[in-house]
Structure 1
Amino acid sequence: MTAKPIVAGLDLGNGYVKANINGLVRVFPSIAVKQFNTGHHTPLTEDELGVFMKDIINQMDLSFSSPLVRSTERRLFGERALKSGLNLEEFDVFARTGKSEVDLSGVLALGTIAADRLYEFYEKNESLPASGKLKVKVDLATALPIGEHKLHAKTYRQKYVNEGAPHIVTFHNFERPVHVEILFEHVYVANEGESAQYGLMLAKDDFLEMIRREAVKRFPNGELDGITGKDLVSAKNTLGIDIGEGTIDFAVFSNGKFNPDASSTMNQGYGSVLESTLTKLQDEGYPYKSRKELSEFLHNDPSPFTKRKWTHVKNVNQSEENRFGDVVSSEVSKVFSRVGGFTEVIFVFGGGATPLEWSLFQKLQSRVAEFGDDNLLPIVYLDSDFSRFLNVQGLYQVAQRLRQAADSGVKKQVVKAK
């Protein structure tokens, strides 16, 4: 059974997947586990389907037939993966291999879309498909780090397009497998950070007001009085610093257009802070096995019984954050030396922005001041809770326009890659 084409913006972050499919936003950890022993599998009963569908991302058991996924093992996702006790498959923030080259990207992208299709079918029919098969056509916008985009975007896009053939995702949660055939009709691969700027440009009034307040509070003498949030996001020459878990992208816009020559990627992100903290704690005998486990511990309020341990872990992590802030600010100086004379606004955002703010913001201010005391340059530092969605919202806006552009006969080279 084929549904009408869906529109999908997928931000496959090193820490979390952010997906916007037909306006429905889902967020879940960028992890999976491979299953090598599936003999203990107990299929769901009909009475259990409703509960499963409400938490499908965290409960699904999938296999893949796709050029995006080379291995054939079944995989678990989300909370079920975390609690399985099996070795986590997660993006290696220190590896030289990029997102476009590892199975996990395809696993997460295809799994998200397949989950959406099956969920939609169940919501309408309150049953699984009698044929055991569903089909879906997709208009997709996704992204790669700027450095990786320059080398691999074209090949990555071709894997999705798959010469017009479908990708097959199989659910193994039920008495009979359910196959979802996914056909990508239109695909755009953006630069990370570039797509976030599109999200800023299309921000709603509440978000624009937050942006204005964030900029103005850094200038207590009234230098930015009268400036609006729209003024800030509409600036033609900007630097966006997108702090992810595995990379930091420095996205430069010149005269309102993305400038790939001046933009760059730093192949470390907030995940490297967590990895360094994890190594030190493991040397001290702490039992944490993954940065995801460590991150969950740090971001939950401690109980009276864990307060002392939490404080020690927090102190170790802050020491690593401060060291990493020096590295990032040094990298900003390199970018600023190329485009600083033209830059009007700096935006700092992403999932790693808030944890680093206490250390990084002052370092950025000092770097900017090196280029002249009269340089009225707002640094808009956006809270991670809001800004982690900028990339996916920008990607969704792009995906909405792909079919219209193709149908109107506008011929564009969707992905430029060397």
Structure 2
Amino acid sequence: MKTQVGIIGAGPAGLMLSHLLHLEGIESVIFENRTREEIEGTIRAGVLEQGTVDLLNVTGVGERMMREGHLHHGIELQFNGIRHRVNMHELTEGKSIMVYPQHEVIKDLVAARLEAGAEIYFSVSDVSLHDVDSDSPKIRFKHDGGEQELTCDFIAGCDGFHGPSRKMIPESIREEKQQIYPFGWLGILAETPIANPELIYSNHDRGFALISTRTPEIQRHYIQVDPNDDINNWSDDRIWTELKARVETDGWKLPDGPIIQKNIVSMRSFVCEPMQYGRLFIAGDAAHIVPPTGAKGLNLAMSDVQVLKRGIVTFYETGSQDMLSRYSEIALRRIWKAQRFSWWMTTMLHRNFNHSSFERSIQLSELEYVTSSRAALTSLSENYIGLPLEWESPKSLLV
């Protein structure tokens, strides 16, 4: 087998990269170790930045998102029992976010790729990368019981944190930077009406809580717990009691109902530098992980592949590898700004029970400042809505 770009992973990064390359007339083959049903049925969060919404629309895969997604013009921050609305639409001159789950984005992209005749190999195993530092890298894999090999010009490793791609970057040049947070999120899917028109981020003495939306009939909510806790310790009644204690106010009550799914996830920040070696380029969760508080995971994957796509297109149009050689440099500028914002949101909103009373007071003072300063609200909004890609080194605003 031979193609121009071999893509490992059929998540948002791999599927969007394949779609973007197809629109430029560049062939690709996608390998995924799960079934189509698994990738389309794994429920993940989905807050889409304005840039991601624009990308899906301009490339022809945003129709269902615009029809079924929930357009939000702001969020609400709650602390000391009081709500503060952040009008992001006004503060960013008309930009918004879209609440549309990641697995729905995946469904739309898979459908578009298959309709265009793309080669997607689901349920592959034993994927390995070879000769990535040569002009003809190879991907070997097993599919339907047989061993196969693909030769290509470039490999895009979009295979998540546990995939084989990142490990192909030699340890001598690979630096992995990580921050582990002492917080876990207990997330639920519940059959209830929409609780609030916009997301509620609540800092409470008992811990953080987030009220979100999935569909008119099913909602997604989270509470901060010990990351090592056992989900079996949390009955439905206990979850609703805790959620209500953290988010309800005198004038607002949280509707409850049957919980159809619940789990606990830990939180961390992770970045691999560089994101390339030879003809191998990694993107999405293979290169970076962000805590979910900043809603950046899928959005960073989308910005990664836009940079990578431009480099690949430039190579085939001109023969120049200059843009490809700068892939890590360009992508990491946006990644680190998103990491900073996600870290800031996480530490500002979660209750760290190891903090002193002084540190707790500083945290609440930070929230008071953010919600009372237009400059601080604008900064929060710009980052939440999504910073632009910087193709060239940013010029300092300092004079």
Q: TM-score, normalised by structure 2?
A: 0.24
Bigger proportion of residues as strand:
2
Q: TM-score, normalised by structure 1?
A: 0.23
